[in-house]
Amino acid sequence: MSGLIERYRDRLPFAADDPVVTLGEGGTPLVHAPHLSARVDAEVWLKLDGTNPTGSFKDRGMTCAVSAAVREGAKAVICASTGNTAASAAAYAARAGLTCAVIVPEGKIAAGKLAQALMHGARVIALRGNFDQALTLVRALTDRHPIALVNSVNHFRLEGQKTAAFEIIEQLDELDALSIPVGNAGNITAYHRGFGELGIAPRLFGFQAEGAAPLVIGKKVDQPETIASAIRIGNPARWEEAMEAMTASRGMVRAVSDSEILAAYRLLAAREGVFCEPASAASVAGLLRYGAGGARRVACVLTGHGLKDPDTALNQAGGVIPCEPNLGAVEEAVLG
Ligand code: F0G
């Protein structure tokens, strides 16, 4: 399967003979959600971007950021991350033969993401601080050293991520609203750009976790807190652009509580058969709490795979049933 750059080269800043670092990202499923549709009285679709090669939407941006870094002759890449960017950067850097360093908040990233970054051979630095501090530090570091910064402040990241908007419209033709979790605010900005290039402007509904909702309260959050560790961010890098995207599309930015996020996370798994990570479920939690705002057709972006965060899943799910190895015991265990 070809990757994004090959598929959308005419709309991306890459020439025919540029180097391409790809893992076959993009082309992710967009599935109808019957249960949610009935609950919110709209036609709800789920964009399963957790099915990308490293399990999150970051791969869309990373194929572009790492390809551009190779084109520019970079030998090393770096990012600050709540986990998914780190996993993606590590994988694409490994593929390209580049050195990779990732700076993550110590003890605050999901187990699967840490395992990925380490397995792909990145230098993983556990910062005794939060994501916002990590991003400030990598920006300062890349000012002093010739290392390519692959956070979403990198122009190529958003270029790659805008392709998700293309894919949704290729399948649905029309869309009234897009519901999306917001952390560092790169992805909502990318969708806005993608829709804009198609000449359309579906309403953008951005959702933040209550304890990490700077865009909702209108000021930085010094100590962001949420179970949705991927969006535990208090000072989004794309703040103004994200607000502009929501205003221009007549959208909104609202907060959802951790318990609403977890309820949506369980509901998606149990009723729609879709296992996403907690941060992704914020898009559905927002829709359930605030409604579809009159939109007839809505797409929720499920940004990361549920397997990224096995600890939260095991804490939220029911327990296993122990069983002796004989038919009577198995019968009782199975039939209850
Ligand atoms: N969902 C997931 C699963 C994420 O990992 C992120 C961001 C977001 C949503 C929010 O996207 O930042 O573009 O608004 N994760 C970044 C990371 C910060 O380091 O992996 P955003």
* Confidence grade of residue 72 (pLDDT, cut at 50, 70, 90): very high
Cα–ligand 1 centroid distance for 57 (angstroms): 8
The confidence score (pLDDT) of residue 123 equals 98
Q: How far apart are CA 311 and CA 323, in angstroms?
A: 23
Q: Is the pLDDT of residue 49 over 90?
A: yes
Question: CA-CA distance, 279 to 285, in Å (whole number)?
Answer: 10
CATH 3.40.50.1100 spans which residues of the chain?
Answer: 4-56+160-315, 58-155
Cβ–Cβ under 8 Å, residues 236 and 257: no
DSSP letter at 291 equals -
26 neighbors 60 (Cβ within 8 angstroms)? yes
Best residue among 274, 303, 305, 307 to mutate for probing ligand 1's pocket (most ligand atoms within 8 Å of CB) is: 303
In testing the pocket of ligand 1, which one of 51, 82, 243 has its CB within 8 Å of the most ligand atoms? 82
Per-residue confidence (pLDDT) for residue 2, from 0 to 100: 85
- Ligand 1: which of 60, 84, 188 to mutate, judged by most atoms within 8 Å of the beta carbon? 84
Q: Count CB atoms within 10 A of the CB of residue 242.
A: 25
Query: What is the structure's pLDDT at 112?
Result: 98
**What mean pLDDT do residues 83-99 have?**
98
What's the pLDDT score for residue 16?
96
**Which protein residue has the closest C-alpha to ligand 1 atom 12?**
184
- Looking from the CA of residue 183, the nearest atom of ligand 1 is 14
Ligand 1 centre and the CA of 146: distance in Å? 25
Specify the residue with its C-alpha closest to ligand 1, atom 19.
81
For atom 11 of ligand 1, which residue has the closest CA? Answer: 183
Identify the CA nearest to 4 among candidates 18, 23, 17, 19: 23
Separation of 190 CA from ligand 1 center, angstroms? 12
Residue 1 is predicted with a pLDDT of: 55
- Position 58 pLDDT exceeds 70: yes
pTM: 0.97
pLDDT value of position 214: 98
Beta bridge partner(s), residue 102:
79, 124
CATH code: domain 4-56+160-315 is 3.40.50.1100
Query: Residues enclosing ligand 1, CB less than 6 A?
Result: 56, 58, 81-85, 152, 181-187, 230-231, 277, 279-280, 303-304
Tell me the per-residue pLDDT of 221-245, one tens digit each, with 9 for 90 and over.
999 999 999 999 999 999 999 999 9
Q: How far apart are CA 208 and CA 224, in angstroms?
A: 11
Q: Which atom of ligand 1 is nearest to the CA of 186?
A: 13
CA of 32 relative to ligand 1 center, distance in Å: 23
Non-local (6+) Cβ contacts of 29 within 8 A are 47, 48, 51
Nearest CA to ligand 1 atom 10: 183
Over residues 269-287, the pLDDT tens digits come to 999 999 999 999 999 999 9
Q: For residue 126, what pLDDT is reported?
A: 98
Question: Cα(298)–Cα(268) distance, rounded to whole angstroms?
Answer: 16
Residue 101 scores a pLDDT above 60: yes
Q: Which two tokens stand for residue 203?
A: 């309403």
CATH number for 58-155 (one of 3.40.50.720, 3.30.70.1890, 3.40.1280.10, 3.40.50.1100): it is: 3.40.50.1100
Cα first-last separation, the chain: 45
Over the stretch 283-320, which tens digit does the pLDDT of each residue have?
999 999 999 999 999 999 999 999 999 999 999 998 99
Cα(319) to ligand 1 centroid in Å equals 29
54 falls in which pLDDT band (50, 70, 90)? very high
Work out the percent of the chain whose per-residue pLDDT is above 90. Answer: 99
184 Cα: distance to centroid of ligand 1 (angstroms): 6
Among 137, 187, 232, say which to mutate for ligand 1: greatest number of ligand atoms within 8 Å of CB.
Answer: 187
Report how far residue 65's alpha carbon sits from residue 148's, in angstroms, rounded to the nearest whole number: 9
Q: For the segment 107-145, what is each residue's pLDDT rounded down to a tens digit?
A: 999 999 999 999 999 999 999 999 999 999 999 999 999
Q: What six digits make up the tokens of 277?
A: 């990570």
Q: Three-class SS of residue 300? A: strand
Looking at residues 198-216, what average pLDDT do you find? 98
Owner of token pair 């490293």: 54
Query: CA 138, CA 83: separation in Å to the nearest integer?
Result: 15
Q: Is 98 exposed, middle or buried (0-12, 13-18, 19+ CB in 10 A)?
A: buried
* Distance from residue 334's CA to the centre of ligand 1 (Å): 39
Q: In sequence order, what DSSP letters do the residues of 13-80 get, joined into one string?
A: T--TTS----S------EEE-HHHHHHHTSEEEEEEGGGSTTSBTHHHHHHHHHHHHHHTT-SEEEEE
Ligand 1 nearest atom to the CA of residue 308, by list position: 3
Helices (H), the chain: 4-8, 34-40, 58-71, 84-96, 111-119, 131-144, 155-161, 163-172, 186-197, 214-217, 239-248, 258-271, 278-290, 310-316, 327-335
147-187 residue pLDDT tens: 999 999 999 999 999 999 999 999 999 999 999 999 999 99
By CB neighbour count within 10 A (0-12 exposed, 13-18 middle, 19+ buried), where does 285 fall?
Answer: buried
